[in-house]
Structure 1
């Protein structure tokens, strides 16, 4: 892989800025064309872009599958508006997709929605193989046909202060069983309509979700089901209650409440000043700077 190439010149791509662009109608010849692709590069700033009408991923960052050395690090992917990707043609994609160990990489303030795959894998934010040491915060993600957030495998990522809403299978998922802490998931808002909060959760043969607390530190979130249904978690062929999730040490201090969005039907996620989520330390997400300036 390029990260291990003895030629140091291959490690010198970095300090580039891709900003304030309109990127659309891509993939008409090569359907898997990505809006912005940063493979082996460091200290990249991919910011304030409007990326839409693609058949594959919006922004892809990293090019090392797994936990090996990775040139990609200290990248900023922020304030992008990414929507209407996939469009039912291809599979296994994300509004933002990452690969490999990337200390210092930050995904912040992005608005991502309407991700639709052909057969599987339509996700808003998708840390794929080995994605590690990444900070994901202040993003608004909704209307993905699989999940608003999906981590395949990785370690020690921080997912905080995001709004994840309306995944077609569940709101969020972490799909590979691993023997270490995959991420910390705190002060997020999860919104669903009778579908699970999480799917592909880890459970044991005794019917407990205990294995999950080894993979995820999850607390101080706000959970809201628009149908007033009891929140659930799906694991293997079983559906678990929120109480069972909490018995495993997850979301012990989280709230089940209406966050008080301005107009959820129109996907206006502005919060009322008296929203209960602020008692958890949630910070308002300012989308006014999203997209080209």
Structure 2
């Protein structure tokens, strides 16, 4: 060992031993002007999270008694050169935890990206920079962040979609499942929709790919070849899923080729390492920061529950994590619900008593946080999760893992989870797979293209591990837009004994075609209680049950769905659900739509009120005819006496009417985030997003 390294090591050991005090509290400091060869004092700080982890490891080996550790991180921008990884030996204990926290008043940012500089302005106004790592070492990236916003990969068309004329599939290898193992798809177009490909060159073709949107999912594929004579595009991969295929008139965009670089805010990286960007109004090279993500993960917590080697008692507090990458494989992205095939910026396995508090995760290419297999008794509180390529927080595994690998008892409280699905629209705000006993409370979940919360991962009535999940007092809004279908603010799958969905405010939920519900019990959802929810401004209903058993819908307010106020679909030989003590208020559409006349339900003591007229369509029947069928015998058509329902003020002037159906008022003002006025203000989506959402909805309804 070199003499200088020996001297530094001895100084570090001496310093570490001197830190032990009566409270067994050890502090290390991390700073942007630090060095991981330092000893970690405020005067000689470390430079990275990995350096701090290693300092804790060294101190543990040298100490004579247990210690708790606090890593104090000063303000600044930290470029991460490697993933921050923690293993069982990096654990704390209940009495002696380990805390990585921002210094008082500091907001440290840990970035997995690389700042791109050296841009020149070309005659056409396009900025260009040569990236040596791309030119000589073939480094490529699929996301780009400009002044903290996600830039647009060059695409055609710049808004809206091209339409597929027809689809032909050639199966190469069938396999034994419903989906062929290997197949080729030929997408054909008319002249107008193929026009942008007529002048494409071979270099562009090597990078060209498409995004196709269909039902509740989408596909990303690279292009094998194009035939300009037959106006066809050839691609290959898995066979199409028969329940969600590419098809005639499907929506598609083409991206990642230079000829598509023609709009402000777009970017393109050529094969020879030239990054091109068309600036937005007001952007100059001097006032613009451009960051390309490098690291696929920012944090990985690597425990092994099967060997009882967990990572435990670690807290992250007041830290921002940004700029993780999702590298698109050559195979593309095959359709998978909730985008569960992609990774996460922060990945945990075999973790217990892990806390993220007052942190930010933003500008990432995939999901933000995933508590994978073998995680338990952990929490995410008061975190700001936004501008994410995938989903917000994912709990559990996509495989049914019981025993020590079963993920359970995760608390998500008072978080802002917004603007997700930017790269993978099927992603959701909070996903609960094969996971139980979780608490999802007081979160603001908004601006997603599929569902806000998805709970359960079994289709039908097979046993499910997703039990006793509590989803309460959340504010879930501006979900779906006009992009995907068959989705909801709260979406459930499978048997879910003990699961409660209550006291949530849900509004502005819209879908491209069918779907766009507030609460949606799908595919065998059973034994779920949905009560005291306020649901308004949805497309096809405040509530829809596809099929399930023994669900309870009670004491909810369902208001102002555009087409139908409530739906049900499948008829089964058991009690599907109870629907009682609910208020439905509307001004357009029908009251009920679906299999209401045939399904086994208990439906009574509800109140219905049309603020736009005196039409009441109960699945093709009048209210009296509906009552004569044995349903809603003690229900009423009456004014519930809201203060101003058309303007979404659902407080009551008095309870004279609602007392007649035994409706119990609940305080929906408590839904959403809590705390300081600044934190609550932060949860409000920008006005531009709210306006755009309303415009999209209006256009979609005209189209329908």
TM-score normalised to structure 2 length: 0.39
TM-score normalised to structure 1 length: 0.91
1:37 aligned residue = 431
1:178 aligned residue = 572
Aligned residues: 277
2:660 alignment partner, SS class: helix
1:206 aligned residue = none
- Whether 1:9 and 2:404 are equivalent positions in the alignment is yes
Q: Is the 8 A contact 1:201 1:233 kept in 2?
A: no
Q: Is the 8 A contact 2:562 2:588 kept in 1?
A: no
Query: As a proportion of its length, which structure holds more helix?
Result: 2
2:562 aligned residue = 168
Q: Is the 8 A contact 2:570 2:595 kept in 1?
A: no
2:647 alignment partner, SS class: coil
Question: Which piece of structure 1 moves more, 224-233 or 13-22?
Answer: 224-233
1:26 alignment partner, SS class: coil
2:408 alignment partner, SS class: coil
1:117 aligned residue = 511
Q: Cα distance, 1:247 vs. partner?
A: 1.1
Q: Cα distance, 1:194 vs. partner?
A: 4.1
RMSD: 1.4
- Residue by residue over 1:6-57, the C-alpha shift from the partner in whole angstroms, topping out at 9 and shown as x without a partner, is x6334x2111101110011111111111000010111110110001111110
Q: Cα distance, 1:244 vs. partner?
A: 1.5
Comparing both chains, which one has the higher relative contact order based on Cα–Cα distances under 8 Å and sequence gaps of 6 or more? Answer: 1
1:244 alignment partner, SS class: helix
1:101 alignment partner, SS class: strand
- Of the three residues 613, 618, 624, the one matched with 1:233 is 618
1:282 alignment partner, SS class: coil
2:436 alignment partner, SS class: coil
1:290 aligned residue = 671
2:537 alignment partner, SS class: strand
2:525 aligned residue = 131
Q: Cα distance, 1:281 vs. partner?
A: 1.2
Q: Cα distance, 1:173 vs. partner?
A: 0.7
1:15 alignment partner, SS class: strand
- Of the three residues 578, 590, 600, the one matched with 1:196 is 590
- Whether 1:245 and 2:626 are equivalent positions in the alignment is yes
Unaligned runs of 5+ in 1: 203-208
2:658 alignment partner, SS class: helix
- Residue by residue over 1:264-288, the C-alpha shift from the partner in whole angstroms, topping out at 9 and shown as x without a partner, is 1210111122340122211102112
**Which whole-Å CA distance do the structure 2 matches of 1:194 and 1:275 have between them?**
25
Q: Is the 8 A contact 2:640 2:652 kept in 1?
A: yes
**Which whole-Å CA distance do the structure 1 matches of 2:645 and 2:449 have between them?**
27
1:114 alignment partner, SS class: strand
1:261 aligned residue = 642
Q: Is the 8 A contact 2:490 2:518 kept in 1?
A: yes
1:262 alignment partner, SS class: strand
**Which whole-Å CA distance do the structure 2 matches of 1:177 and 1:22 have between them?**
38
1:205 aligned residue = none
Runs of 4+ in 1 over 6 A off after TM superposition: none
